[in-house]
Structure 1
Amino acid sequence: MGSGPTEAREGWEMATREVPQPSPERLTPFAGHPLVVAVTPRQPELVALTAASWSRAAGGVRLCFAYVDTTRFVVEEHPDGSVRHAEIDPDAVDDTWHERRRQIEDSLTQLLGGSGVPWDFRYLAGRPDRALTHLARAVDAAAVVVGTRAPGPGARLREVVEGSLAVQLSHHQHRPVLVVPLSVVDWTTPLWR
């Protein structure tokens, strides 16, 4: 029996699967479901404060803050959304991630301590859109909160090359993505300047 174009096409059709699409049946209510909040070191407070405001408006839902370290890869994903990760270079010994994790957690504690908003923090690895999607599924989040890319040298180039995290998330999972603007364009300034 040969492997002609028809057999190959049928094999391809059988190998593909239908991806669940956004729909009213897949809507996760805000009340009672956590929000996943993407954070980065030294990120403006506005992202966390916006998420805390939404948490209070939704009845005090838990915030699952997450930082995704793109210099590490996922070894194992756990059912609670956390991961075991490792250095991309097996010969490198870089434990700076421990300090980065502590800095982010300390910053969140200073910002949200005493606010009454329940929260936790996960240190993730790999592709940000994939890692945040896995966490959102694991905790049954109602939405994902992200900030726009911080301004600065190379920010626009990085966005062109890497793409917008908010756009990537909106294409790879069904939860709403709340985008917190961290810098805006002054529309009163002529474009030709």
Structure 2
Amino acid sequence: MPHVVPQPHPSRLTPFAGRPIVVGLVPGQADLVALTAIALARATGGVLWFAYADPERVTLEEHPDGTVLHTPLDPDGVATDWRRTDEDLRAGLTALLADAPDVAWQFRYLAGRPDRALTHLARAVDAATLVVGARTPGVRGRVRELLDGSVAFHLTHHQHRPVLVVPLQVVDWSDPVVRG
């Protein structure tokens, strides 16, 4: 019997009111993604589940609360201090959310492909939606998107929840070079 992949359908829609919102973050990303998610949480009464999926680590075990047990992708490679990244992201969120005491939030440090990790977290918390930033500006963002693909694209094509993509850089269409 062939494997049937569940498709988006009104019966699978999770109500927005009071439901969790998963927010994908990247170190060094503009605060606009988190600020947009905060505004959405205020409008819907949802709890924010911020997450970073470290592509240099691999998931060994996924837990029902959305946490994961992870290890370096290359155990013989130069290990980055994932705990430092975790602490930095938490500190940044704590500072940013100091002006939003009315918004409840959690943070999860995930591993592996961001689209898969965020999808797992969204399932674990039964999120109504996901919020991610558009491609990271600059050469590094373009190279990462070329190699890994767009996280937003993968999310919109591999799970049933709506995805809010926050633009981080826009094209000036009045520029004659862009209109080309």
**Which TM class, normalised by the smaller chain length?**
over 0.9
What secondary structure does 1:44 align onto?
coil
* Counterpart Cα distance in 1 of 2:57 and 2:145: 20
Is the aligned partner of 1:28 residue 2:14?
A: yes
1:84 equivalent in structure 2 = 69
The structural deviation recorded for 1:92 is 4.5
Q: Cα RMSD over matched residues?
A: 1.5
Is the aligned partner of 1:64 residue 2:49?
A: yes
| Residue correspondence of structure 1 range 1-193 to structure 2 within 5 A | 14=1, 16-59=2-45, 61-92=46-77, 94=79, 96-115=81-100, 116-190=102-176, 191=178
Q: Could you tell me the TM-score, scaled by structure 1's length?
A: 0.87
What secondary structure does 1:73 align onto?
strand
- The one-letter code matched in structure 2 to 1:37 is V
**Cα 1:93–1:161 shift into 2, 3 Å:** closer
Q: Which region of structure 1 is more displaced relative to structure 2, 86-95 or 123-132? A: 86-95
* Counterpart Cα distance in 2 of 1:179 and 1:185: 16
What secondary structure does 2:30 align onto?
coil
The structural deviation recorded for 1:93 is 6.6
Q: Could you tell me the TM-score, scaled by structure 2's length?
A: 0.94
* Counterpart Cα distance in 1 of 2:179 and 2:41: 42
* Counterpart Cα distance in 2 of 1:156 and 1:42: 15
- The one-letter code matched in structure 1 to 2:65 is D
The structural deviation recorded for 1:154 is 4.1
Q: Percent of aligned pairs with the same residue?
A: 58
Runs of 4 or more, structure 1, over 6 Å off, are none
What secondary structure does 1:40 align onto?
coil
The structural deviation recorded for 1:95 is 5.3
